[in-house]
Structure 1
Amino acid sequence: MLNLKAVSAGYGRTVIVTDVDLTVRENSVTAVMGHNGAGKTTLLKACLGLVKTHSGRIEFDGEDITTMRPHLRIRRGIAYVPQGQVSFGGLTTAENLTVVAESHRRPKSAIDEVVDLFPALTQIMSRRAGLLSGGQRQQLAIARALLTDPRLLILDEPTEGIQPNVVAEIEAAIGQLTSGNRLAALLVEQHVGFALSSAERYYVMQSGSVVSSGTGGTAASAAVRDAMAI
Structure 2
Amino acid sequence: MLELRGVSVGYGRTTVVHDVDLVVSPGASVAVMGHNGAGKTTLLRAAVGLLPVKHGTILLDGVDVTKTRPNQRVRRGLGYVPQGQLCFPQLTTMENLQLVADRRPSGRRLIDDVLDTFPALRGLLSRRAGLLSGGQRQQLAIARTLLTEPRMLILDEPTEGIQPNVVADIEAVISGLTARGDLSVLLVEQHVGFALRVTDRYYVLESGRVTSSGDGGPDAVGDVRAAMAV
TM-score (norm 2): 0.98
CA distance in 2, matches of 1:99, 1:131: 18
The 4+ residue runs of structure 1 with deviation greater than 6 A are none
Q: Name the structure 1 match of 2:134.
A: 134
Measured in 2, the distance between the counterparts of 1:187 and 1:11 equals 22
Superposed displacement of residue 177, structure 1: 1.1
Residue aligned with 1:178, SS: helix
Instruction: Tell me, yes or no, if structure 1 residue 114 matches structure 2 residue 125.
Output: no
Residue identity in the other structure for 2:94: A
Uncovered stretches (5+) of structure 1, i.e. residues with no partner: none
C-alpha distance in structure 2 between counterparts of 1:155 and 1:33, whole Å:
12
Once residues 171 and 70 of structure 1 are traced to their aligned partners in structure 2, the CA distance between those partners, rounded to angstroms, is 26
User: Between the two proteins, what is the percent identity of the paired residues?
Assistant: 63
Aligned amino acid, residue 161 of structure 1 = G
Query: In 2, distance between residues paired with 1:180 and 1:140?
Result: 21
Deviation at 1:181, TM superposition (A): 4.3
Q: Which amino acid aligns with 1:187?
A: L
Shift of 1:103: 2.5
User: Which structure 2 residue ranges, 5 or more long, are not aligned?
Assistant: none
- Partner in structure 2 of residue 28 of structure 1: 28
Match of 1:64 in 2: 64
**CA displacement at 1:178 relative to structure 2:** 1.3
Aligned to 1:103, the other structure's residue is in SS state coil
CA displacement at 1:13 relative to structure 2: 2.4
Provide the residue aligned with 1:6 in structure 2: 6
Contact preservation (8 Å) 1:106, 1:147:
no
Letter in 2 for 1:120: A
Q: In angstroms, what is the RMSD of aligned CA positions?
A: 0.9
Aligned residues: 230
Residue 216 of structure 2: aligned partner: 216
- Is structure 2 residue 141 aligned with structure 1 residue 144? no
Deviation digits for residues 162-205 of structure 1 (CA, Å, limit 9, x no counterpart): 11111111111111111224111100000001000001000010
Counterpart residue type for residue 227 of structure 1: A
CA distance in 1, matches of 2:45, 2:132: 27
